[in-house]
Each structure stands twice: as C-alpha cells, then as structure tokens.
Chains A and B, each alone.
Chain A
C-alpha cells in the first residue's frame, strides 16, 4: 500500500467525518444545542440499516429513505419537547450550554442503555458491496467509495441550500446573530428546530454509511460524538466549510496513523489534532484570532 493510497483512503474516511461534523455544527452552531447524545443517533441508524439488511434484505442506501426521515422527526420532537424548555429557561448562553450538556448527557445513557437492552452489546457486521474497485490506478473497497460519494452528495446539497436559498440565508443569519435574525423576521424557534432535526438526519445518513464498512455495537456513539466535536472545534463553530476541511484532515491523519503506527489509536489521533488546535489556534483553524 503506497502512501498516496493511504492518503486517498483517509480522504474517503474524512468525507464521512465531515458529514458527521456538519450535522453537529447545524445542531450546535445554528440551534445552539450542545448535543452529547449526537453519536447515539449514528449508532441507532447503523442498527436500523443492519436489521433492514439482514431481516428484509433492504439495500442500506434505499433504507435511508425510511431511517433518515424517522430520525429527522425524532430529533425535531427532541428539540420541541426536551430542548425548547431549556432554551426558554436559560438566561444566558452559558446557562443553556450547561443545561443542554447535562440533559443530552442523560439522553446518551438512556439511548445507549436502551440499545444494549434491545440489540445486546455484541459487535455487528454485515457484508455489503465489500468488493474492490479501481479508481485512477488505486484500489479501494466499493462500500467506502460509495459512502464517500453519498457523503459528498449530502454535503453539496447542504451547502447549496445554505448558500442559495432564502431558507439557508435565514439559517446562516441565525448561526451568526440570533437576536439580529429575529429582528429581520426569522422565526428563530422553528428554524432552530429544523436545524437541530437536520443535524440528526445527517448523522443518520452517516450512521447508515458507517454500518456498511465498520463493525459496530451500541457503545460506538461516544467515539463519533467526540470526533464530531473535535472536527467542529477545529473547523470553527458555525463554519460549515471549516468542518468539511477539518473532517478530511482528521480522516487523513487517522489513515496515516493506522498505516504508520496502529489502527487501534484513532481517538488518540483526534485528541492529538485537538491539542494542537487548542495550543496554536484556539479559535479554530480558519477562525480569526
């Protein structure tokens, strides 16, 4: 395996991290909810894809037509009934952050425990498009390439919506200046709910894609939440392009680490990058100091 191949496989993985981070950024950067239970929805979507594939042999990509709207709805309900009371009660943004961290930390254990009850803590895996494909002279697993393609498609769609539509402009306004957004007539509550739910929908897409090429169990959520957090911190809160670039950076760094050192140290890589950002550019790689 050559170094170029390693870097390219890192980019493919990084595309997925970027998607996960963009979803988190919608929840934290736009809706201002710090969701520690974020990764649990990735895990839930992975299980949904697994059961649909093994029990009914539904193609995971087609299965997203069901699992993604369901997750969108579930996250909308969570925002409406669990997060909105906290938003209304909080006097400052710090209050809200503290409360949402605690509430979603509780939610994390509820969702994880429930999945362990329902699905047992065993590792799961299913065989889907596990065939090699050759692209410009390099060999990759087809499922990973497909995951990258789907992640790119969703990333592009989000980018177009944010940049080209009125709706997207309202969302960007909300991310930058919530009070100002309300002054120019943005329904901040409805918009935050949609941003939060969309973030959840994106992580469901990511979960489906992850399930096609990684082993998973009910405890994987935390790891992905952590990676989403690191990528968002690196790219800058509310900065979607920053999340994209930082996600790809994390993917490449991980691929290099598993090539040079060991594949069991992926979280250590994320932490290492996080440390560097903290020490050198605490406002994010692309933030203005």
Chain B
C-alpha cells in the first residue's frame, strides 16, 4: 500500500513538473520597468508626453487598440465596427461600439457605456486643456444606447472613424471617479489624476510624480490567471544609457523604454548576455526640412514669410533652386547615418511616409545610394561655381547653410556627418543645436522654434499615431503654412505650396475605398519627395531593452509598448 501511494505521489509530482506551469495571478512576483523620462501624471488627457500615455495604459484601457503589426483589435469591445458588419453607417457618419460583457472597474463596479460618454465630455470640454482633444474632433454627439452600446455621431463623413476610444491616447475614464473634474476643475483633482481607477491588469498603489509609480495586480481583472506579476514598479529618471545599463548589465530592471543611444553602446552591453535589445518600426522619419522662404535676419518681420502667389518675392536665395535641393539630397550617404547613429533602430528612408507598408512608395529609392559626382555635375550645370574658398556661389549668393536641430548626441553626430558630406559638393554649413524645450516649445517670443524656422535647414522627427495617414499628409497643404498671421501654428514648416497637392489632399478626405486612399497617399508622398520639399533621412524605430528572464514582450510601435503587459511572464 505504502509502495503504491509513494509511486502515485511520485507520478503526480512528475506530471506536475512536466506539464506546462499554469501561471496564477501574481505568481511571478515583482516586475521592474525603467522609463528614463518619468511620468508626471496618470491621466493621459493631461499628459505632457508619451511617458504618461505609457504609464496610464497599464490601468486605463480603450475599446480597440493596435497590435504590433498595426492591425486594429477589439480590446474592451466585442468586435471592431465596420461598414460590412453594420457597425458603421453607410454614410460614414456614425459608428456604434458594443462593449464586452462582464468588464469591471478595479473597485468592483461594472463598466458601462455611460463611462464612455463621460470620457468624451471630459476631453471635449474646452476648459479642461485636454492634450488629446484632437482625437475627439468632428464629433456631433456620443450617446449611450444601452448599458453596453456607445454610438458616436460625426459632423462630417469619416472614412477612418477609429480615433475616439482607440489606442492609448483615448482610453475610458470612470465616470463615478472623475465626475466633477471636468473643465477648469481638472487641474485640482489630484487624487483622481494620480490614482485613476481602470479596467487594466494593474491598479495604482502609490504615485510619486517624476519619480516612481507602484502598482499591484487588479483583483477584478477579467482574466483571473493574469497578470502573472503581483507587483509592478515603474521607476523614472536619469538618462537613456544608464537605463540600458540597468537592464543589460546589472539586471536591476526588467525593461527599459526609449533607448535613444548610439548602437555600438547597446551592442557592447548586449554582449553581457543578460538582456535583449528590441526595436519596432512605426511611422517616425527623421528628415531635413527645406526652407522655401528667406530667413535672413535683415528682413526683420518678413523672415521666413511666404509672400505672393508663386512665392517669387521672398523666395530662398538658393534653396528655391531645384538643382540645389536635389544636389543636397544626392550628396548624403544615408547608410553612414544609420550605422553611426541608429544601428538596428534605423533604416534608410526615401519617403516621408514609410509605413504602414501598404502606403509606402517605391518611386524614390534612388536616394539609397549617394551620388556625389552627379550632385557636383548638377550644381556646375546650374551655374553654381566654386569660389576661391571652395564654397559655391552664383550672382553674389553663397551656398552657406545654417542647420539647426535639438540637443541630442545622435542628432549632433548626424549633423557632423552631413556637414562633411556637403563640404564635398562645395556647400558650407554652420551647425546649431538648441534645447528641446526651446526648439519644440512654440514660444512666440523665441526665434529658435522649429515653427518659426529662421534658419535654412532644420532636422527633427515627425510621425503620426494610428495607421491612417490622411491628417499627416494634409500637413503640407498651402493653408497649413506656419506664418506670422497664424502665430506660426501651422504644420507646413517648409512653406511649400502646390495647388495640385492641395487638390489631392481634398480628394483623400472624401475617398473611402482603400485602394483610392493608397493611390492618393503615394501620389502625395511622391510629389513632396520629387520636389524635395523635405529630404527624408532615416526611418526610426522605437528601441527598448528587456531582461532575458522576461517573456511575452511584443514590441509595438502603433500603441503602448505595455499593451500586452497582462501576458508577460517570468521565464
């Protein structure tokens, strides 16, 4: 008898060990994340940057979100509404979302459509100062048809209506908690802003702004076996290199976000074998903006102003010459820039719109190979002769470029390379770098903002969220030009204007067929690239690092990097 029992016991133990460990909620202990830019609030609607959106995404969830390939998945909703399944009306003005059954807030109460309606009212209230309010544009009304159905009515037909309640920019807030915090009161609801109640896998235990956030597993999360980690510590501060070090060399942290670091440093750290560097490509393109207007300081008020129908009164002295722009682009060896500054986290980009792949044009790929000889030939033929100092000039105008960007070691390296490359075609360059909060600040009294563009060339990265490029491509229409009269609030920094482009953009806003949208996007992209309104350099990916003991990470450039943190486990 004893023999049988012990055999059975041994068998049971053996089976228990051999079978895959069924993770229980909290069984993997503590997870440590390191975001070197520390979040200052947990309310994404009052966020100061991507870091707040990431932090809040483990607590607050949207109806639908993007996976790592850009596919739209139903998250809190049952299905993604489409015209085919009746979720979107045929005239494209309404969309109806149906919420899954049985979803509870972390305090035990049920999620209802009223919470969704409240979220819309919270952000669209003009006194709230909501940073995500452009996700709630063109909405006529949001109604709760029943406790689990939300109906959104737009003021114009929307071929792509997936902005509200989709992604980490527009999650649902709990009405019971945030009621009374709308409008001007949003500033004072510190308790709610720091400890939002959500449906996500974690809930906030302690929030120290710009320092550390402590979470614990949400007891009312819909999947009882998840999350595998009982405690989550979200530490912030410091710089990117030491963040990489904490994961890859000392192992104190499990995950580090946004490692904008030279590739050789990351490679060396990875050799230690404790962690892995992962990257994913979204829509970010580092590009050179070309100023089509004259930024000469002696023009005073008229610096970088677009005057006249075909801009012949304040045209840039040399950048308005197509040959000069093309020569500048031909002289750049983009592979060197990628190797020196980005490594795995960058690819050459010849388009201002590199992704999603269906929209990427292949008409401009000649930029992948530099051609200094052709650049020199073009400039010679156009009459730009080298002077005694080696700098090309024509009619008293020297090609001397003032090139600005923000302070960042990789950007400064890129500047150094490009300066040297342009020297080979007889172009003189002066480099300038400015603190990011000044360059991107938009302060009207500062002459150094990227909107004012008081230099000849500027460099930065732009992108768009989600997968639909319509708003992004409309950035370069004539009415978007950043000028004094709109307080430099436009998105068209090069001050490039083409009626043909404007027509294409207008057409895209009324085309609903996918093949038409793809064709129009490619045409607009090619028009910009072939006139060298901008010179694209690098398609930048997001780079993070995680410990080798962590599994389940699916690096996502379209949504939060922590989108599937409920599925992460310790190996």
Q: Do A and B form a real pair?
A: no
Interface positions of B (Cβ within 8 A of A): none
- List A residues at the B interface (Cβ < 8 Å): none
